[in-house]
A and B are shown apart, each in its own frame.
Chain A
Amino acid sequence: MRWIPFLLLTLAGALLEAGNLLNLIALGDWHIRPAPLMILLVFVAVHCRLREAAIASFVLGLAMDMAGSQMGPHTFSYCLVGGLLCQLTDYFPSRRFLHQAAMIFAVYLIAETLAYWLRGIKTGDWQEYGMRIILLTAVYSACAGPLVWRGLRRIMPLIVAAPSHGGRGYLR
């Protein structure tokens, strides 16, 4: 993993998450927007070894928390989900757009639901429509994800030094 380009990409993702630029493509009354950090997380988890994927997931979760209002929920959930995804990625194909979209949808749903519950337990704030927003964001991210994925594939040599192909983790 080339960490400096990765950190710059993470910073850009965090700024998109926290800023207003993505409101240009937000949909509906809830302003549903795609989740760039989650797409990056899935991409990294699929293409990196466990050691790098775990650290990258942790950094992405930390960036997500910094862009939000709570420290901890995303750091934990992204790290957990990213690490597990890296171990299981051989079981899930990711070459076709549909497969990438399905993977982003599922991973976003799991990671954000976990973060939502952790945040609720920590603060006592339970957003009334929180789960609906998570579901709709997962759908939007799954739709936009393959396009971003294609762009990430082009710059992959800048981020991933040696793409991993099998032989990783404990679950295979």
Chain B
Amino acid sequence: MAGRRFHLSDGARFGLLLCVGVILLILPRDRTQYVNFAFAKTFGPLLRIGRSFEAYRAAMPHPDEQYVLREEHNKLWKNYNNLHAQLLKLQSDFEKLAKVRSGLPRFFGGLVMAEVVGGGLTQELLINKGQTDGVRVGYYVLSPDQNSVVGVVRDAADQMARVRLLTDANQSIAVRIRREGAPLDVGALMVGNGKRGGVIAMVEREKDIRVGDAVYAAAWTGILETPMIIGQVSDVQPDEESPLLWKIGVQPAENTGMLKTAAVIVPQSLAPSRQ
């Protein structure tokens, strides 16, 4: 009897399902994101299958491969540039404060090490640390060596977080372009190109930007005390729409397709004690 009373025609059932879809669509993302995280958490091991086959993704090129291993070179190159950034910061502090700080500047408040549990087609990573570990939206995410910025936290649940890579076309980040041995220090905004790199626009052509210049994530008070390397300039061309500006291509320093772990920078006050 109850079945007859609530019997729906095919059209009504179809309309009802569409209405449910609309309701899901209207619901705020904060309310529904737990479903996505729960799915990723439940099937994490299955989703990871095949991840090691992504070795063909972007890697930092270098012509002198016959002299040193690329992996070793990339690691040294990033460490060197980070040290160089620290040096510049120290010099700046010295000039401003007229004294040398007793120790090296802090890179960041605290670190939360996380395991990459998913990613796939999109320019995003899923990590197994979330709000309970102090991870919040907008925090920077570093490579496993903790020597280059690879992304920014986009969503954070209790136990998981979604990281948007710097190469995502929707991701922008404040950067500094610098060159070794030159006073070049240009501030700009980098946007991912949706593929393997990023694009920096709105830089005046008076600026002497060259291929090979280092690109750093700009310092962020409380999170990133000194700039940290992102990659290097791979292409410099006049902007077709605004010929007075450069359109600069950026090659990331880190092969994000191979990431199995990542480190999230969190303020010291939010970092859990076990870190």
Contact = CB atoms under 8 A, between A and B. Distances in A.
Interface of A: 14-15, 17-24, 26, 29-31, 33, 49-51, 54-55, 57-58, 61, 65-73, 75-77, 79-80, 83, 118, 122-123, 125-129, 169-170
A127 B170 contact: yes
A76 B21 contact: yes
B6 to A, nearest CB: 14
B47 A70 contact: no
B21 A20 contact: no
A79 B22 CA distance: 11
A90 to B, nearest CB: 16
Nearest to A61: B21
23 contacts: A15-B47, A18-B118, A18-B120, A19-B46, A19-B118, A21-B50, A24-B53, A29-B195, A30-B194, A51-B10, A54-B13, A69-B162, A71-B24, A71-B36, A72-B24, A72-B27, A73-B25, A75-B21, A75-B24, A76-B24, A80-B18, A122-B29, A170-B11
Chain A contact residues: over half helix, strand or loop, or mixed? helix
B21 A128 contact: no
A30 B20 contact: no
Contact of A79 (B18, B169, B170): B18
Query: Interface range on chain B: under 10, 10 to 19, 20 to 34, or 35 or more?
Result: 35 or more
Given A23-B53, A33-B121, A129-B194, A69 B36 contact: yes
Contacts of B119: 20
Given A67-B39, A71-B35, A123-B29, A169 B162 contact: no
Contacts of B21: 58, 61, 72, 75-77, 79-80
Contacts of A30: 194-195
Nearest to A31: B121
A20 B10 contact: no
Given A69-B155, A75-B20, A127-B170, A83 B162 contact: no
B191 to A, nearest CB: 8
